Amino acid sequence: ETGVTQSPTHLIKTRGQQVTLRCSSQSGHNTVSWYQQALGQGPQFIFQYYREEENGRGNFPPRFSGLQFPNYSSELNVNALELDDSALYLCASSSGEGLPYFGPGTRLLVL
Amino acid sequence: RKEVEQDPGPFNVPEGATVAFNCTYSNSASQSFFWYRQDCRKEPKLLMSVYSSGNEDGRFTAQLNRASQYISLLIRDSKLSDSATYLCVVIDPGTYKYIFGTGTRLKVLA
């Protein structure tokens, strides 16, 4: 196991709702990145946080936002959920530019 | 052209077979490459890094062809437990983002 944990494991929401996903990084890691993996696709980079600041963002709209806390844990918030937001959301932690280690993911279903 | 492209498969091979996957990348300035393995409904896990000189780890061999801009993964003596999706990852040299391919699905049959 990598030591990266995510909650919840599964979630069902309806269109228009808001969701918050959580991630605890591996001990000693100060960087957290979030990915969205739709069925049959590879993970797509959403954004990355380093020492509580966003330092990289993929092609996702502003309704995808995040936070990183002083203990380096992180949240991903998605507002105004759409059906296409249904996916596995993966959090990965790393130390600076080291290799990322993934958590088990949160499976989100939007109805 | 996609930044990272893989044949989605599935590749169905018998136990003991040798199988190879390729992954092409579009940015010729890319320097760092990896193969990740993802089991069904699980998170991706690092399988191996890909070095310029090629590298081997047991039954797995990874190679880089800079001229043709592709990396490859060779699996010898396939086991049932090798059944998984293999994701190619390229680090964008400008942003350091990890760019994943769609993955190649491998099924090793008894």
How far CA B78 is from CA of B13, B34, B64, B82, B107, in Å, comes to 8, 20, 21, 6, 10
CA distance B40 to B52: 30
List chain A residues with CB under 8 Å of B4: 42
List chain B residues with CB under 8 Å of A99: 34, 46
Cβ(A88)–Cβ(A6) under 8 Å? no
**What pairing do the DSSP bridges indicate for beta strands A74-78 and B19-25?**
unpaired
Which residue of chain B has the CA closest to A87? B41
List chain B residues with CB under 8 Å of A109: none
Counts of helices then strands in chain A (DSSP H, E): 0, 11
Residue-wise pLDDT for B33-73, tens only, equals 999 999 998 999 999 999 888 899 999 999 999 999 999 99
Q: Which of B41, B43, B101 sits opposite A90 (nearest CB)?
A: B43
CA distance B96 to B86: 21
pLDDT in tens, chain A (111 residues): 668 999 999 999 999 999 999 999 988 888 999 999 999 899 999 999 998 999 889 999 999 999 999 999 999 999 999 999 999 999 999 886 678 889 999 999 999
Q: Does B101 touch chain A (CB under 8 A)?
A: yes
CA distance A102 to A108: 17
Q: What angle do CA B11, B16, B18 make, to 5 degrees?
A: 55
Distance from CA of A10 to the nearest CA of B (A): 12
Contact A58 B46 (CB under 8 A): no
